[in-house]
A and B are shown apart, each in its own frame.
Chain A
């Protein structure tokens, strides 16, 4: 898509900041509005913007399908395994108090880890949903732009 110079330049400038904002929302969710759900969606939005502007095939090089299909269940597993870690350390399922010697620290750790799991699954699911649609659509010819 050589014809969309402005779109390409602007999105190239924007995408790093969108990703950075996604990370901020992910890890600052304890203190302000945000958390895994929002951060996952923002992350996915950055990759979808990249795929829209630079083409689906280019985007597949950034995150290969094989990596994506692994990331989808990984977040859910991180979440569930954190729950089982609570059991192994002598607490209940999803009881974060026992994750660290100090219960408050344990709660912080648990929240951070499970929010990360939520973020990974949400982002991966959103990207693969978009990819499933994009893989069905005929590539737009250069003349059609």
Chain B
């Protein structure tokens, strides 16, 4: 039992972190908060990948000339690029939030939906009249 705990506790804590991020995305109406939640989710996926690459007793994958065991460098490469792509997409999302605020005057999801609906209704009335 204690062995299972030591060998998998890392994944469990990261999954809890992931779910916290997902909960922020699902439950909060504020768009900036949603993007922050998405960031938490993203970071925990990074941590999950890097946890998989860890070799106990290994070192950072940089050759020093001495024989030694390395942690798996392949996930490091994937996550390294994923982080920079992540910030680019976050910037794109935040830019969309700014444009939404300029068009609707709010960044709350509920208010945007109300504005959309009232616009739909007025358009329909205008069309039938």
- Measuring CB to CB, which residues of chain A are less than 8 angstroms from any residue of chain B? 31-33, 35, 37, 40-41, 122, 125-126, 129, 132-133, 136
Query: Would A41 and B84 count as touching, CB distance under 8 A?
Result: yes
Distance in angstroms between the alpha carbons of A37 and B83 in the assembled complex: 9
- Measuring CB to CB, which residues of chain B are less than 8 angstroms from any residue of chain A? 60, 62, 80-81, 83-84, 87-88, 91, 95, 98
Q: Which residues of B contact A126 (CB under 8 A)?
A: 87
Q: Which residues of B contact A35 (CB under 8 A)?
A: 80
Distance in angstroms between the alpha carbons of A31 and B62 in the assembled complex: 8
A39 to chain B, nearest CB (A): 11
Query: Would B81 and A37 count as touching, CB distance under 8 A?
Result: yes
| Residue on B nearest A136 in the bound complex, by CB | B98
Work out how many contacts link A and B, with CB atoms closer than 8 A: 21
Query: Would B91 and A129 count as touching, CB distance under 8 A?
Result: yes
Query: Would A132 and B95 count as touching, CB distance under 8 A?
Result: yes
By DSSP majority rule, is chain A's interface helix, strand, loop, or mixed?
A: helix
| Residue on B nearest A41 in the bound complex, by CB | B84
Query: Would A32 and B62 count as touching, CB distance under 8 A?
Result: yes
A34 to chain B, nearest CB (A): 11
A79 to chain B, nearest CB (A): 13
A53 to chain B, nearest CB (A): 21
Distance in angstroms between the alpha carbons of A21 and B91 in the assembled complex: 25
Distance in angstroms between the alpha carbons of A126 and B60 in the assembled complex: 28
8 Å CB contact of B80 from A32, A37, A40: A37
| Residue on A nearest B63 in the bound complex, by CB | A31
Nearest first, the 5 closest Cβ-Cβ pairs linking A and B are: A129-B91, A37-B84, A122-B84, A37-B80, A32-B62
